[in-house]
């Protein structure tokens, strides 16, 4: 079984440049932002760029790809104006994925900001249900570190959105987020227990992607800060157990690890390959 592992690649100079960037990291799948994630902005991908991205992806056998939505998107919000902006942004992202031949669009649920857990989950499902998702594109709901009123830190939140939405959704698990939210991954036994709980609550059949990141902070702190693979609080034993778990072996892995200490994505991708048996 071929290990599909890559990183979040820059699209600076054109979205097609993400393919060459991924090759420089030695990745064979990956993730992009279609625009700056800090602002409300159209993807604005030209036909030539899209064709080049598709061709380069096919030529070099890289995939699947994921588009990560803007950080401003908040599916759980009770505010009408933010809801409409989030819906519009999400629609543009799934359309961009269709243009680029990208399989997945990844989104955080966001914060309920006073609507309560049930209200927030209903809000998220209703926004997702208004999307016109092109055939061949799947929206992934990402697990969250769970700070403040953000939802997605509990597996039950993910399961409820899948159940409440009429869309055919899947899940992206982020290891650093899970760990920060209180799901231990630091030992082989902890990995087994956490993934068994995910299977029981959500189901492995709904897991389409993993964001593999170590954590700079302890389990249950709700602090989202990523570390190099095997060098954070999850550590080498936990990371090794996770990437070798039967339920993970066929799932594409995308890294969002830091560039620091003279190491970046290429070092971390090599590290994952070393840990994989």
Contacts 24+ apart (CB under 8 A), 223-226: 223/145, 223/147, 223/180, 224/145, 224/147, 224/176, 224/177, 224/180, 225/176, 226/176, 226/256, 226/257, 226/258
CB-based contact 141:158 (threshold 8 Å): yes
For the chain, the average pLDDT equals 97
Q: What is the pLDDT of residue 222?
A: 98
Within a 10 A sphere around the Cβ of 231, how many other Cβ atoms? 17
pLDDT at 82 exceeding the cut of 90: yes
pLDDT of residue 44: 85
Domain limits, the chain: 5-275
Task: Give Cα separations from 247 to 104, 157, 243 (angstroms).
Answer: 19, 21, 9
Checking if the pLDDT of 12 tops 90, the result is yes
User: Residue 91's pLDDT band (boundaries 50, 70, 90)?
Assistant: very high
User: For 62-75, how does the pLDDT look when each residue is reduced to its tens digit (9 = 90+)?
Assistant: 999 999 999 999 99
φ, ψ of residue 150 in degrees (nearest 5): -65, 140
- pLDDT reported for residue 147: 95
2 vs 18, residue with greater confidence = 18
Q: Is the dihedral of CA 94, 97, 103, 109 positive or negative?
A: negative
Cross-strand partners of 253: 5, 210
Q: Indicate the pTM of the whole model.
A: 0.97
Q: CB-based contacts of 28: which residues, under 8 Å, 6+ apart?
A: 2, 4, 5, 6, 22, 61, 62, 63
Nearest CA-CA partner of 194 in 148, 248, 115: 248
Query: Rounded to the nearest 5°, which phi and psi values hold at 57?
Result: -60, -45
∠ CA 26-213-116, nearest 5°, is: 135
- Chosen CATH of 5-275 out of 3.30.300.30, 3.30.1390.20, 3.90.420.10, 3.20.20.150: 3.20.20.150
How far is the C-alpha of 78 from the C-alpha of 155, rounded, in Å? 22
Question: With 80 as the cut, is the pLDDT of residue 1 above it?
Answer: no
Q: Average the pLDDT over 4-14 and give the result.
A: 97
Q: For residue range 145-203, what is the model confidence (pLDDT) as tens digits? A: 999 999 999 999 999 999 999 999 999 999 999 999 999 999 999 999 999 999 999 99
**pLDDT tens readout for residues 222-267:** 999 999 999 999 999 999 999 999 999 999 999 999 999 999 999 9
For residue 12, the tally of other CB atoms under 10 A from its CB is: 9
């Amino acid at each position: 079984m071929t290990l599909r592992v890559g990183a979040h690649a820059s699209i600076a100079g054109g979205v097609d440049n993400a393919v060459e960037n991924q090759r420089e990291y030695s990745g064979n799948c990956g993730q992009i932002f279609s625009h700056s994630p800090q602002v409300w902005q159209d993807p604005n991908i030209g036909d030539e760029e899209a064709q080049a991205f598709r061709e380069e992806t096919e030529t070099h056998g890289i995939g699947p790809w994921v588009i990560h939505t803007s950080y401003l998107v908040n599916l759980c919000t009770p505010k009408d104006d933010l809801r409409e902006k989030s819906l519009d942004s999400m629609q543009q992202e799934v359309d961009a994925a269709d243009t680029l031949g990208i399989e997945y669009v990844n989104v955080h649920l966001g914060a309920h900001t006073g609507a309560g857990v049930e209200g927030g989950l209903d809000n998220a499902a209703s926004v997702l249900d208004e999307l016109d998702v092109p055939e061949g594109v799947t929206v992934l709901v990402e697990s969250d570190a769970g700070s403040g009123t953000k939802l997605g830190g509990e597996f039950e939140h993910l399961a409820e959105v899948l159940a409440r939405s009429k869309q055919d959704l899947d899940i992206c698990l982020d290891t650093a987020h899970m760990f920060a939210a209180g799901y231990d991954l630091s030992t082989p036994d902890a990995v087994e227990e956490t993934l068994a709980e995910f299977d029981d609550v959500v189901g492995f059949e709904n897991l389409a992607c993993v964001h593999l990141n170590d954590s700079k902070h302890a389990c249950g702190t709700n602090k989202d800060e990523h570390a190099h693979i095997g060098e954070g609080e999850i550590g080498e034993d936990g990371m090794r157990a996770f990437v070798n778990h039967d339920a993970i072996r066929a799932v594409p892995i995308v890294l969002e690890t830091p560039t620091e200490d003279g190491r970046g994505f290429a070092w971390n991708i090599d590290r994952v390959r070393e840990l994989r048996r």
